[in-house]
A = this chain, B = another copy of it.
């Protein structure tokens, strides 16, 4: 009933070795005799010892924690299953790593200063950045702080940052091609935020595909990855281009909104207007009709980002060429 945590000295005493030997035994056991190792292991178990992170950090100059940064200025996007997938992926990628996962969310309507300052202050050893926007200044902040970081999704700047991504252009091509294959010739798109690489790239893939087929690429409405945004955007898109027979929504959440708008206008899906989404993070199977979409391997992507960060932290040579995952088309009933 001592209440107080046992210290390394307690362990050393219990194991009848010096504090340094105990320390060595606990940290991998270099230059420790089998007997000493066993005695220390025993003492640790008996005492329920757990190293004091603060003391360790103070001398190792590492914090043994990494930040998951979500610099999302828009509250709504947190409803996005994407974030949940990212959290799950990072968490899973950390198994056995004994690193704390510190969550760094932007407060609503807050500038980029706080996050940048925090990251520059040496409170974490590294960072994974998700939902990165052009104006969030995270790239420069991370570079200045020289903090090991991996972006989930291609960053904007020069090629100095590590990142992992899904091939959004290819995914959008898949979606658009699917619409063309089902006979559509007048295809519009509802984009993600165009200050995010995912938004930009998916628009690009849509445009490239249409042009290659000699089709018009002027039916575009910028949106925000939310369902209600998607519904509103669909109204504007259909008002401006009543002849549309296909729509590519750059996220399933937006596609859900599009579906509502189409229903309320009495347009049949896919008979009147075919629809393809993007993400496949649980929404697509629950819409009616089920959404044809592009599978975005978020968890795999994020686990890869975590692995890359761990490698960086371990000082391993990490290739600067990013890891890019290939999305696949998921057939539904909407196209």
Q: Interface of A with B (CB < 8 Å)?
A: 3, 5, 48, 50, 52-58, 63, 65, 68, 75, 78-79, 81, 83-84, 87-88, 91-92, 95, 100-103, 105, 107-108, 117, 120-123, 146, 227-228, 256-257, 260, 263, 281-282, 285-286, 288
Contacts and interface: CB of A to CB of B under 8 A. Distances in A.
A115 to B, nearest CB: 12
A144 to B, nearest CB: 11
A105 B87 contact: yes
A117 B50 contact: yes
A108 B93 CA distance: 12
A87 B78 contact: yes
A56 to B, nearest CB: 8
A73 to B, nearest CB: 14
15 contacts: A50-B117, A53-B54, A53-B57, A54-B58, A65-B102, A68-B103, A78-B87, A79-B81, A79-B84, A83-B84, A87-B87, A88-B105, A100-B102, A102-B102, A288-B288
Nearest to A81: B79
Contact of A122 (B5, B78, B100, B288): B5
A50 B120 CA distance: 9
B53 A63 contact: yes
Contacts of A108: 92
Contacts of A68: 103
A269 to B, nearest CB: 12
Contacts of A286: 227, 256-257, 260
Contact of A92 (B5, B84, B107, B285): B107
Contacts of A282: 79, 227
A215 to B, nearest CB: 30
Contacts of A122: 5, 50, 52
A121 B117 CA distance: 29
B88 A78 contact: yes
Contact of A105 (B81, B91, B121): B91
Given A3-B146, A5-B121, A286-B257, A84 B78 contact: yes
A123 B88 CA distance: 21
B103 A91 contact: yes
A3 B78 CA distance: 35
A192 to B, nearest CB: 18
Contacts of A103: 68, 87, 91, 101-103
Given A83-B84, A101-B103, 6 more contacts: A53-B63, A75-B88, A87-B103, A92-B107, A102-B102, A260-B286
Nearest to A117: B50
A108 B89 CA distance: 12
- Residue from the set A54, A56, A75, A78 with the largest chain B CB neighbour count within 10 Å: A54
Contacts of A50: 117, 120-123
